Structure 1
Amino acid sequence: MANVDVTQTLEALNALATAPPSDPEVRKQLYNAAQKLGLAVEAPYDTVYRIIYSPILLTVAQIAGNMRIFKTLVEKDTPLNSVDLAAAAGADVTLTGRIARYLASHGMINEVDEDSFAANHITQTLSIEGFRAGIKHYMHGTMPSLQAAPEFLEETQYANPSDMLHTPFQRGFRTDLPRFVWFQSQPDLSANFGVWMGAQHDRKMTWLDVIDFRELAHGSTPETPVFVDVGGGIGHQCALLRSRYPDLVGRVILQDSTTVVARALQTTGVEKTAHDFWTPQPVHAARAYYLRYIMHDYPDEKCLVILRNIKAAMAPDSVLLIDDMIIPNKGAHPNATDRDIAMMVNFAAMERTEKQWRALFAAAGLKLRRVATYNQTSGESVQVVGIEGH
């Protein structure tokens, strides 16, 4: 490329960095292109440094969150120095300056002058409590599993993990318990996880943006079970459905364990029922059975138990709504592949490709009817599944 072309390109890139476009789709395209450009021009040592120092980014982001650096900068209209930031945290000034310089060097805050720092849009993001909880969750709830993974996989001769009691998680956390059970004894981690999950979905489109539930409930009566949220937690999706369709006719049923249902949201028109999805489904002939991020927590063998229990209760016109991630067979986004590895090391589970989902449904005697995607980047989608032959 001629020097004049490089100069013009750099000027254009600097202009975009100063005033990025507001259109979300254009921003996403630019972000993806910038990532590719960064990798294309990366020198060998830059590549190695990026990889070997990547855990430090997560570590310092949590330290800064604990020190309230992001929140303090966001709350102030003027730049702050190390003394100001240290005072807010009750921390040592020298340590605070080192942390602030690291954050600035990675773009998490702006360095406007010597020992002078201000918030930027990334600071704004990292000051949000839900995202801070996500950083804590991965730092304390997943990092030990990742550290244990290389040795674990070497010892298992690189077999794909499929036993929830034999994963890098057990080694990393020195326990014989599956992650779900172990988590029950970790209130801080559980709380962070819940806040993180809420933050991820508060600002996004949902399955109801791509599924017209009125079609599924057509002709229902007050006695008709129209929606059964299997393993539905405290009932966010039931509440969302009732809010979106306040005149929906039929029974909306939340199912989860006794302890979870006991603290479910108090939503008018939602029945709360204790049910273990490893046992036969007690509600028969519902219009829709709904599973949100259940399948990705389990290997295929376990998923088949859940699917077959529901299938046995389905009527010919019932559907199973699988609200989960679909990794494309080709060209997967890092958001999807990152989560796939996290599921592997913690649960012996996986984020599935299109082909893997179809194979799983076929093994359970079910057939995929259609897919409605509501997040193109991550592949979050609703799969409408029916009984094979109907």
Structure 2
Amino acid sequence: MSSSSGPLSAQCEQILAAIKQYERSGQTDRTQRIGLVQSLNKLALRLKDPREAIFDHFTNFVETCNLRALLELRVPETIPREQSMTAKELAAKVGADEALIVRLMRILTVTGIFEMVGPDEYAHTPFSLAYLEGHEVDFFKLMCDEILVNTSRLPEYFREVGRKDTMSMTSNPFAWGNNSDGKSFFEIISQDPRRIKQFDIAMSTQDSVLPVLGMYPFGTELAGVPDTETRPLIVDIGGGRGQSLLQIKQQWPDLKGKLILQDRPMVLNSFPALPGIEKMPHDFFTPQPVKNAHAYYIRRCFHNWTDAHCMKILEQIVPAMASDSRILIGEMVVPEYGSERPGNVEDMTCYWMDQAMFTFGGRERTESDWKKMFESAGLKLVKIWRSQASSQTVLEARLN
């Protein structure tokens, strides 16, 4: 949106013009808003002394840790939404030391998460209320408890294990950090009911906020395909509780053809029948039983696995494909140098998510990574269907 070179005053004028345009547009365009935030961040960076900026990392780190601690103490939900509460009152309510509440709150009032309205007296802001209302808070807790605690030990991990990228689901920073080398992430957290419950809640809430629609136009791309009476239209592989197929059906009710939802039996048995959707137990590491479907759809699965595991998944699907079948993979695409940024803004999600995947053996992938994987499986990347101002995509691949 604005240049990070040239006079500071010129950069400010460019940002001011963009803000005025944003206000005229009704302040509803997400791409414009994110672009403005990133422009202001670039301006702030130019004003910082590089050595002083090192200490910004401490601010971010302590803010994150204190927020997680306050969530554990149930402080955000204890403060009335439209009233204030003193540290003494909070301490009595949550069973903590008054001095502890004061110390945890200090940085969070300065950074604007909470508001200090009097001596050691606090009130909510829109940012603290988000920890009561947003699905993201469950994912925040999971990232702090399972990912941050292990990534913070990477220097020790590199000294002890070696300076290696993670290529294993059972030998990685997460397994090492839990003293459980040889076990996967799921095997480790499943030993603790609290941890597996937190994971299940975080994944279900996170999945509800990540887009299914707005990328691949199922309604137009699959309209009028042949033989829908004998060939399934969409097979949703590893599709969980059917949230993707339900959204597709709602958006395009006139689509013709069978919709099949595949997942492990324990998943499919956990919810009732879905109208117009056939449940089918299936492990995606075994041969695909549905032949000649028009679309084999897999959303938010590949990033959990190593390249070798992803290749095995593809190798189970390819033999089942007809010459005009397509594989649709809903995943992020990490930008490379000079590659397309939807909306000309940088979506940071793919970078921190890749770090999370690194911890237990998965990864987010670049376009080059995807092309290489598809080619190895006998496929070709036809198109990347991108969402606006986001790394979320649907990658379309067909037989080579």
Q: Normalising by the residue count of structure 2, what TM-score does the alignment of the two structures yield?
A: 0.84
Q: By how many angstroms is 1:157 displaced?
A: 4.3
1:327 partner amino acid: V
Q: Which of 94, 99, 105 is equivalent to 1:100? A: 105
Which residue matches 2:152? 147
Give deviations 1:284-305, integer Å, cap 9, x for gaps: 1111111111111122122111
Distance 2:34 2:242 in 1: 32
Distance 2:388 2:272 in 1: 26
Q: Give aligned-pair identity as a percent.
A: 27
Which residue matches 2:45? 39
> What secondary structure does 1:273 align onto?
strand
Distance 1:196 1:46 in 2: 36
Equivalent pair of 1:78/1:118 in contact (CA under 8 Å): yes
1:366 partner amino acid: L
Which residue matches 1:193? 199
Equivalent pair of 2:213/2:247 in contact (CA under 8 Å): no
Q: By how many angstroms is 1:156 displaced?
A: 5.0
Distance 1:265 1:140 in 2: 32
Equivalent pair of 1:58/1:135 in contact (CA under 8 Å): no
Q: Structure 1 unaligned runs (5+)?
A: none
2:238 partner amino acid: G
Q: Which of 331, 340, 354 is equivalent to 1:340? A: 354
Give deviations 1:250-276, integer Å, cap 9, x for gaps: 221111122222214531122222211
Which residue matches 1:122? 127
Distance 1:148 1:94 in 2: 29
Q: Normalising by the residue count of structure 1, what TM-score does the alignment of the two structures yield?
A: 0.86
Q: By how many angstroms is 1:151 displaced?
A: 2.9
1:385 partner amino acid: A
> What secondary structure does 2:156 align onto?
helix
| Range with bigger deviation, 148-157 or 62-71 | 148-157
Which residue matches 1:168? 173
Equivalent pair of 2:238/2:284 in contact (CA under 8 Å): yes
> What secondary structure does 1:188 align onto?
helix
2:379 partner amino acid: L
1:318-337 paired onto structure 2 within 5 Å: 318-330=325-337, 333-337=347-351
Q: Which of 361, 371, 374 is equivalent to 2:384? A: 371
Q: By how many angstroms is 1:229 displaced?
A: 1.2
Q: Give every structure 1 segment of 4 or more consecutive aligned residues whose post-TM-superposition deviation is greater than 6 Å.
A: none
> What secondary structure does 2:166 align onto?
coil
1:287 partner amino acid: H
Q: Which of 56, 66, 80 is equivalent to 1:50? A: 56
Which residue matches 2:285? 278
- Give the direction of change, closer, same or farther, for the CA distance of 1:287–1:195 in structure 2 (3 Å limit): same
- Give the direction of change, closer, same or farther, for the CA distance of 1:269–1:185 in structure 2 (3 Å limit): farther
Give deviations 1:190-244, integer Å, cap 9, x for gaps: 3333333344454454235542335325245344311111111222212222332
Which residue matches 2:398? 386
Distance 2:66 2:316 in 1: 45
Equivalent pair of 2:264/2:282 in contact (CA under 8 Å): yes
| Range with bigger deviation, 61-70 or 270-279 | 61-70
Q: Which of 69, 90, 98 is equivalent to 2:95? A: 90
| Range with bigger deviation, 288-297 or 218-227 | 218-227
Distance 1:232 1:310 in 2: 15
Equivalent pair of 1:220/1:226 in contact (CA under 8 Å): no
> What secondary structure does 2:387 align onto?
strand
- Give the direction of change, closer, same or farther, for the CA distance of 1:358–1:334 in structure 2 (3 Å limit): same
Q: By how many angstroms is 1:44 displaced?
A: 4.5
Q: Which of 291, 305, 309 is equivalent to 1:302? A: 309
Equivalent pair of 2:298/2:329 in contact (CA under 8 Å): yes
- Give the direction of change, closer, same or farther, for the CA distance of 1:234–1:223 in structure 2 (3 Å limit): same
Q: Which of 269, 276, 290 is equivalent to 1:262? A: 269
Distance 2:384 2:83 in 1: 49
Distance 1:149 1:256 in 2: 34
> What secondary structure does 2:135 align onto?
helix
Give deviations 1:338-360, integer Å, cap 9, x for gaps: 1111111212x211111111111
Equivalent pair of 1:254/1:273 in contact (CA under 8 Å): yes
Distance 2:237 2:336 in 1: 28
> What secondary structure does 2:41 align onto?
helix
Equivalent pair of 1:144/1:169 in contact (CA under 8 Å): no
Distance 1:169 1:195 in 2: 20
Which residue matches 2:76? 70
Q: Structure 2 unaligned runs (5+)?
A: 339-345
Distance 1:39 1:69 in 2: 33
